[in-house]
Amino acid sequence: MVEDKYKNFEKNQRPGFIALIALLIVASAALSLGIAANLSGFDELKAALAGSRVVQARALVQSCVEDNLEGLRNNFISKSSSLSNSDGSCIINVAVDGSYAYINATGTVDIYNQKIQATVDNQLNVINWQED
């Protein structure tokens, strides 16, 4: 008689156990999908931030070159300078050779660099302009 009660107890517990295992499997699959979606969103956010930093570095190096072109208008001589602000820094070298000035500038924001190489004549006409 005791064995019959034990067999009935065991049979009655199996459906609950199977439902619990099924629930755990579904919950773990949902958790995995949630984590994957979250990580994908994080990568997109990181890529957008990197794009923003590259744009800031490009704007910074362009402003450095423009500032130095204004300096060349006043005094057509070779010089090196740097500029730092809260966004980043810029290093610029201007080499004057006869009636041409060769400009090399690098703007840096965080780990992102943008470079400009330009050549202008003594009237500040742009002969060559390359951005990397």
- Determine the pLDDT at residue 116: 96
> In the structure, what pLDDT confidence band is assigned to residue 8 with cuts at 50, 70 and 90?
low
Please give the pLDDT value at position 79.
93
**Residue 80, pLDDT score:** 92
* Per-residue pLDDT at 9: 55
Q: CB under 8 Å to 77, separation ≥6 — which residues?
A: 94, 96
d(CA 21, CA 29): 12
Lookup: tokens for 14: 């199996």
Say if residues 58 and 109 touch (Cβ distance below 8 Å): no
**What confidence tens digit (pLDDT) does each residue in 59-115 have?**
999 999 999 999 999 999 999 999 888 889 999 999 999 999 999 999 999 999 999
- What sign has the CA pseudo-torsion 92, 96, 97, 99? positive
- Strand, coil or helix: 129: strand
Give the pLDDT confidence of 19-36 residue by residue, as tens digits.
Answer: 788 888 888 888 888 888
Residue 75, helix vs strand vs coil: coil
* Residue-level pLDDT at 46: 79
Q: What is the reported pLDDT for 120?
A: 96
**Which value, in Å, is the radius of gyration of the alpha carbons in the chain?**
33
Residue 3 predicted with pLDDT over 70: no
Tokens coding 79: 């010089």
The CB density around residue 52, as the number of other CB atoms within 10 Å, is 13
- pLDDT at position 44 is 80
Q: How far apart are the C-alpha atoms of 94 and 100, rounded to whole Å? A: 10
Residue with tokens 């067999």: 7
Region 111-129: mean pLDDT is 95
Identity of the amino acid at 1: M
User: Which of the residue ranges 7-16, 32-41, 67-76 has the most confident prediction, judged by mean pLDDT?
Assistant: 67-76
